[in-house]
């Protein structure tokens, strides 16, 4: 095992201590934790691990190391960390107290010699060397070299991630393929296949990209492979729109914002289902995506809903006032749709509210009546 000293994560709950809740108030439900433990193939259940979680939570603020019970290995601590990580991904929210507990579990596992934990901490330093002292950076590099010589699988994957972040796709591919030589049927392998798919998508080598994305989707759950679903949908957009729609709808279930406008235009331009397209565009409107405003206006025009079109157009003009970046796009929109905009402006986006207007309409139009069968 590698010798480890704490070099990377300085988790601190000192700033949270004044309002620090009780552990049972922030920890997830037993059923949720047991389900994720089953997914991670843990040999321990909630009853065995809950006291360990609790002890580390209580001691991490005091700066003392928790005594890990017999039967709980460093790998078990990493599984405990992954449980909290998965809950964070699925809920799309971050609880600062549970995040601090994640870091504490990672540190404790590394101190006990777990190579995965050591690798993660070392790479945390190298991702942001400017905010770490030179000694920690040098020691982090030394640890990574030692792990690389041992063909440590996670180190290969993280080296690929670091190369990809720096824009070196060739080097990233080299490390990712070395990782796949070590393991190619795991959840982590699914993530690597997704990265390789994105690299080939940019080349573009769409055939290889498709193969990698399909493997990523097969090995990884939806919340971790949403990008693979999205890119694969892009590949199928012209050749297999039905398949592209299913993949893109999967992205939408995860709140992937780029999927809303894509689904809207797919429904409008290919399937010609303007009502369904409007619903997708409506979700994008709430995120102020200018493309969704344009798509929604076009749907209203197709459906002859000029009141809705006018309301959409007026909202676009307000967006233009607060965001100068939209001005050029909206100017082109108006130029290309002069007839539709002109027609929409004939219709008010607000209901009639002036009593005199109602009274005048009632006198002129025989179909507007103040009477009913009750004589009210």
Q: Give residue-wise pLDDT tens across range 187-212.
A: 899 999 999 999 999 998 999 999 99
Specify if 102 maps to a domain. Answer: yes
Contact call for residues 33 and 46 (beta carbons, < 8 A): yes
What are the pLDDT digits (tens) for 215-255?
999 999 898 899 999 999 999 999 999 999 999 999 999 98
DSSP one-letter string for 277-316: HHHHHHHHHTTT-HHHHHHHHHHHHHTT-HHHHHHHHHHH
Dihedral class, residue 63 (left if φ above 0, else alpha if ψ from -120 to 50, else beta): left
Q: What separation in angstroms does the CA of 134 have from each of 5, 7, 12, 13?
A: 15, 11, 22, 25
Specify if 328 maps to a domain. Answer: no
Quote the pLDDT of residue 374.
Answer: 40
CA 227 to chain centre: 9
In this model, does residue 376 exceed pLDDT 90? no
Specify if 302 maps to a domain. Answer: no
Show the domain range for 23: 1-132
Specify if 43 maps to a domain. Answer: yes
Number of domains observed in the structure of the chain = 1
Specify if 340 maps to a domain. Answer: no
**Mean per-residue pLDDT for 256-264?**
94
**Mean per-residue pLDDT for 137-145?**
91
Quote the pLDDT of residue 219.
Answer: 94
Quote the pLDDT of residue 18.
Answer: 55
Confidence tier at 360 by pLDDT (50, 70, 90): low
Confidence tier at 313 by pLDDT (50, 70, 90): very high
Specify if 33 maps to a domain. Answer: yes
Specify if 262 maps to a domain. Answer: no
> 365 is written with which tokens?
């139009």
Residue 260 CA to residue 269 CA, distance in Å, equals: 14
Quote the pLDDT of residue 321.
Answer: 83
Residue the block writes with tokens 């990672």: 106
> With pLDDT > 90 as the criterion, what percentage of the chain qualifies?
69
Quote the pLDDT of residue 2.
Answer: 42
Specify if 64 maps to a domain. Answer: yes
> 57 is written with which tokens?
């939570």
Q: Which residue has the higher pLDDT, 256 or 132?
A: 256
Contacts of 8 (CB under 8 A, 6+ apart): 120, 121, 122, 124, 125, 132, 136, 140
């Amino acid at each position: 095992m590698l010798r480890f000293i704490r070099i990377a994560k300085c988790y601190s709950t000192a700033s949270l201590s004044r309002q620090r809740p009780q552990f049972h108030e922030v920890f997830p439900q037993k059923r949720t934790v047991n389900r994720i433990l089953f997914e991670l193939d843990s040999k321990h259940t909630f009853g065995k691990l809950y006291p360990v979680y609790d002890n580390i939570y209580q001691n991490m603020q005091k700066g003392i190391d928790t005594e890990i019970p017999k039967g709980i290995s460093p790998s078990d601590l990493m599984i405990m960390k992954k449980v909290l990580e998965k809950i964070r991904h699925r809920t799309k929210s971050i609880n600062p107290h549970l995040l601090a507990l994640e870091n504490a579990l990672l540190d404790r596992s590394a101190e006990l010699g777990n190579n995965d934990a050591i690798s993660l901490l070392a790479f945390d330093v190298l991702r942001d060397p400017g905010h770490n002292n030179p000694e920690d950076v040098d020691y982090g590099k030394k640890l990574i070299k030692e792990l690389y010589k041992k063909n440590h699988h996670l180190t290969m994957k993280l080296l690929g991630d670091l190369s990809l972040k720096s824009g070196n796709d060739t080097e990233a591919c080299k490390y990712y393929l070395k990782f796949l030589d070590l393991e190619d049927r795991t959840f982590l392998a699914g993530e690597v296949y997704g990265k390789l798919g994105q690299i080939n998508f940019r080349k573009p080598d769409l055939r290889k990209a498709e193969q990698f994305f399909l493997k990523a989707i097969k090995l990884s759950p939806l919340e971790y492979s949403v990008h693979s679903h999205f890119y694969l949908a892009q590949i199928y957009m012209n050749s297999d729109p039905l398949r592209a729609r299913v993949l893109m709808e999967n992205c939408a279930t995860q709140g992937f914002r780029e999927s809303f406008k894509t689904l809207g235009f797919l429904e409008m331009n290919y399937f010609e289902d303007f009502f369904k397209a409007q619903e997708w565009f409506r979700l994008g409107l709430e995120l102020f995506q200018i493309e969704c405003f344009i798509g929604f206006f076009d749907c209203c025009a197709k459906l002859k809903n000029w009141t809705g079109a006018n309301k959409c157009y007026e909202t676009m003009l307000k967006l233009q006032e607060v965001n100068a970046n939209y001005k050029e796009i909206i100017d082109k929109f108006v130029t290309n749709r002069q007839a539709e905009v002109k027609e929409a402006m004939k219709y008010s986006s607000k209901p009639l509210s002036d009593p005199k207007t109602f009274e005048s309409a009632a006198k002129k139009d025989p179909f507007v009546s103040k009477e009913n069968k009750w004589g009210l």
